[in-house]
Structure 1
Amino acid sequence: MASPSAISSESTQFQTSGSEQDQQIMDQRKRKRMVSNRESARRSRMRKQNYVNDLMAELGRLREENSCVFTRVTGMTQLCMNFEAENSVLRAQVAELTHRLDSLNEIMECLSSNNNNGVFEGSYDRMINDGDDFLNPWNLLYVNQPIMASADNMLMLAKCHLFCQCSPAEY
């Protein structure tokens, strides 16, 4: 039979070898976990790099789109300014034509009121029939010329004043 000291040495040896196996298993698990963590960190870095690359591509696309929009806005602003300038010119022309029409209407009133008084019997018809271009709007010579106050307008207003005895405030 085995002595108690031999049994205890065998059990100590068995415990030691069991303990070493457990330690080896723990070391294997630890190495496996480290490898898994490294792989997970590598995948995380790759995802992060892909995300940054996607953001950079989107940034480039948005900058290009912004440039196109800025160019379009600049063009539209210039077009709007051109339209505003053209509208200003047209408004000035409308005001001048309105003023000329009012002046012509006043002259016509003066002439027609004088015709009724017998002072200038037939003179308006004679002016139209003789081809006076100022009083006949269909025979205007300078349709496409800039509209300006002319000496003819002032002369006709003076004639109207003389014939109608209108005060200057009335015209």
Structure 2
Amino acid sequence: MASSSGNSSGSLQIQSSGSEESLMDQRKRKRMQSNRESARRSRMRKQTHLNDLTAQISQLKEENDQIHTNLSITSQQYLNVEAENSVLRAQVGELSQRLDALNDILNYLDASKGVFGGGDFDAIPESYMNNSWNSMYLNQPIMASADLFLY
């Protein structure tokens, strides 16, 4: 009987070791399946992140193009305003010179004969009449707005 009991315990060991291997195989398969699922989820997250970054790149490029366009338009407007400002400054300078010359003429007439009181315009010095700027503007009107005459 000893031999048969030894055989039965040996077969129990074989059966239990077989079931342990089967259990270990199941655990190994479960772990492999779990790892595959985890890797698949990780790949999906990476792909989603890549898609988000690609969309963000497109949006930022579009915004960058709009900013460049706005900058170009603003720069062009700035150059136009600077050119117009230069023209206006030159006109202010010219008009100031004309006003100064006219004031000099009036001061001369006031000092010599009174305010247009029988003044002789032939007595205006040649230096006022022969200035190079004067001949350039002789036939140009001096602009004034109507509200200046209200005072």
TM range (shorter): 0.7 to 0.9
- Percent of residue pairs bearing the same amino acid type: 47
Q: 1:153 to 1:111 in 2, by over 3 A?
A: farther
Secondary structure, counterpart of 1:150 in structure 2: helix
Specify every segment of 5 or more residues in structure 1 that has no aligned partner in the other structure, as ranges. 128-147, 155-171
In structure 1, the residue matched to 2:19 is 21
Task: Provide the residue aligned with 2:28 in structure 1.
Answer: 30
* CA displacement 1:12-56 (0-9 Å, x = unmatched): 111111011011001001001101110110111011001101110
2:134 maps to 150
**Matched residue type, 2:2:** P
* Alpha-carbon separation, structure 2, partners of 1:152 and 1:123: 25
Alignment equivalent of 2:67, drawn from 62, 66, 69: 69
Q: Which residue in the other structure is 1:123 paired with?
A: 119
Q: Which runs of 5+ in 2 are unaligned?
A: 123-131, 139-151
Q: TM-score of the superposition, structure 2-length normalised? A: 0.78
Across the two proteins, how many residue pairs are aligned to each other?
Answer: 128
Of structures 1 and 2, the one scoring higher in RCO (CA 8 A, sep 6+) is 1
Q: What is the aligned-residue RMSD (CA, Å)?
A: 2.3
4+ residue runs of structure 1 moved beyond 4 angstroms?
none
1:84-141 per-residue CA deviation (whole Å, 9 max, x = no partner) reads 110011011101111111111011111111104xxx85127x89xxxxxxxxxxxxxx
